[in-house]
Amino acid sequence: MPLDQPEPEKTPIEERTEELRMTFGEHLEELRSYLIRALIGLLVALVVTIYYGTTIVGWITSPLNQVQVALGLSPQTIATDATAGFVSVYLKVSIISALIVASPWIIYQLWKFVAEGLYDNERKFAYILAPFSTVMTFLGVLFTYYILLPTTLFFFLTFLNSYPNVTTKYTNPMIDILVGTNDVEVVEEEANQEIDVSKITFPTIPVLWEDPVNPPIGAEWFDARDRRRKIWTGKQILSQTYNTNDRIINPLFEINQYISFVTIMALGACVGFQLPVVMLLVGYTRLVDPAHVAAMRKYAFFACFAAGAILTPADVFSMLLLAVPLYFLFEFGLFLMKLVDKPPMSEDDLPS
């Protein structure tokens, strides 16, 4: 080609392709800036949740402690691993809490990036959809904390109380032969002797519902609220826990397993509470006709139970407790679909 010959004119497709190539890097740079802002917000939230990490753990275990006290059990959990309190509990709860706290900011940054490519009507709908999704997530957390979690814990702990008490009155002759003299029988015979109870002075300690203010050193009392016997040493309170449970099975919750249990349950409830949001989006985009969805109610009923089994820990009671609200959420989502459903425009409706 001669040097003085002009370059051939580009076709509209080539010009559009070049324009897209030129703006693709700019879009990536813009996305990078929004992601950095979202990450900064997440780090700020993480600093806050790390500072209040132990308080958040106490808030999460509060429903368990309340149910334990109500059923006469020791209001505490155990840790079989020395690192569980920091790694499996503290860090895990802090990170998950930071994600929850920073989620509105993260969604807002991603929304600012996506909104530039949307039409005005799509933006208006997104301004409704995003807050609605946030509210439903918040309702899912509240439902888990105040209804699903305490009810599930009460069911399982009450079931454990149905087991018989520990007893040794059913003696086994073979054990007596192996052990030898049964000292228990000797003690029992001595205990069955008639004793004048009126001549016995029983030691007593005060029963309080709150710790006393400025008690003297060596003061001892029983905390009826926490079922603990406490002694003030002058520097700290030493306590010993008592419970009314004398069953053959003593429920001891491991803290990291309990945190995982609550996390799975809360995540499942939050996902389930997004059902009306998804149905509203489907109805607005007319991907599915609301009449077809209404005709599949019986299938939706069984699907809610299947979803309840998947989104909750592996127990039937939690499944039932989530499946019923899921079906009501389905009906609410169907109502929203009908509300935003608009018949397609005919040729006569199009502007001339």
From the list 220, 195, 199, 224, the residue with the least C-alpha distance to 209 is 224
Identify the burial level of 335 via C-beta atoms within 10 angstroms of its C-beta, where 0-12 means exposed, 13-18 middle and 19 or more buried: middle
Q: What is the pLDDT of residues 233-243, one digit of tens each?
A: 988 998 887 76
Spatial CB neighbours of 93, under 8 Å, sequence gap ≥ 6: 49, 53, 56, 57, 60, 259
CA angle at residue 91 from 90 to 96, to 5 degrees? 105
Name the pTM for this structure. Answer: 0.72
Q: What is the pLDDT of residues 63-86, one digit of tens each?
A: 999 988 888 777 888 888 888 788
Q: What is the pLDDT of residues 183-230, one digit of tens each?
A: 555 555 555 566 676 777 888 889 998 899 889 999 999 988 777 889
pLDDT at 169: 67
